[in-house]
Amino acid sequence: MCGRYASTLPPEMMQELFKTLNSIELMPRFNIAPTQPVAAIWEESNRREAHFARWGLVPRWVKDPREFPLLINARVETMAEKPAFRDALKHGRCIIPASGYYEWRTNPDKSKQPFYITHEDGHPMALAGLYATWSGPEGEEVDTVATITVPANGQLSVIHDRMPAILEGDAIEQWLDVRGTDARTAYQLALPLADGALKFHPVSTRVNSARMDDPALIEPVSDVRPEPVIKKKAGGGAQMDLF
């Protein structure tokens, strides 16, 4: 899954790269977490614009979001059938600009080591996403999004079995064109990137806390794997325990 990411693109760069008709004020973020406002791009009435949206999709038909599960990811294998995602796949596709994302590897001792994952060439990412606008009883409207995940490629499988669907080139144009690209075609665009397209390095476990948000979070740290602690049995025998 993708549960944290960073976005440090200046507004003018995001507008130029993704060809939006507008620009929104953005501060560099290094630890974006679910339920927080994120920048997302979609097309509506032939206008491609950037918006702020809540990370955690809430379909239009939900009566009370507080009683609805937090949907931050849509699995590519089931998004076309799940009631929460199937309409958005047809009419509410978006991209979520990112500089990189975090994933956690489970170590043999069950501890978790976070990694920061970026394009090999450092180019910004376009995470494939779905959006929906929830309307409340008082007329309030909230734009909400979820990222799409796919099976990890061979390179990333050493960290986790899932990865976000990252769009490139013409796939971005097709994904956002909800009028010209039907859901079946769009579904086929959400694929794992090829091995070698991404790079990663271990980072501090400070990223585990959503309160942390500073440039040091994306800096590499030593990848220290847990070493077995060998203790002798009481009595000095030769047999040892492995922990």
The CATH number assigned to the domain holding 237 equals 3.90.1680.10
Query: How far apart, in Å, do the first and last CA atoms of the chain sit?
Result: 29
Counting the structural domains of the chain, the total is 1
Top-confidence range, 60-64, 163-167, 221-225: 163-167
> How large is the greatest C-alpha to C-alpha distance in the chain, in angstroms?
79
Domain span at residue 66 reads 4-242
Catalytic residue among 49, 77, 103, 140: 103
In this prediction, residue 241 has a pLDDT band, given cuts at 50, 70 and 90, of very low
Quote the CA–CA distance of 79 and 140 in Å, as a whole number. Answer: 27
The per-residue pLDDT for 2 is: 83
Q: Which of 128, 73, 124, 65 is nearest to 96 (CA)?
A: 128
Task: Please say if 2 is a catalytic residue.
Answer: yes
Query: Tokens in use for 63?
Result: 């009566």
- Per the prediction, the chain carries an average pLDDT of 91
**Looking at the predicted structure, is the pLDDT value of residue 178 above 50?**
yes
Query: In this structure, is the dihedral angle defined by the CA atoms of residues 153, 121, 2 and 64, taken in order, positive or negative?
Result: negative
The per-residue pLDDT for 225 is: 57
Number of C-beta neighbours around residue 33 at 10 A: 19
Q: What are phi and psi of 49, to 5 degrees?
A: -135, 155
Task: Please say if 94 is a catalytic residue.
Answer: no
Catalytic residue among 2, 81, 173, 227: 2
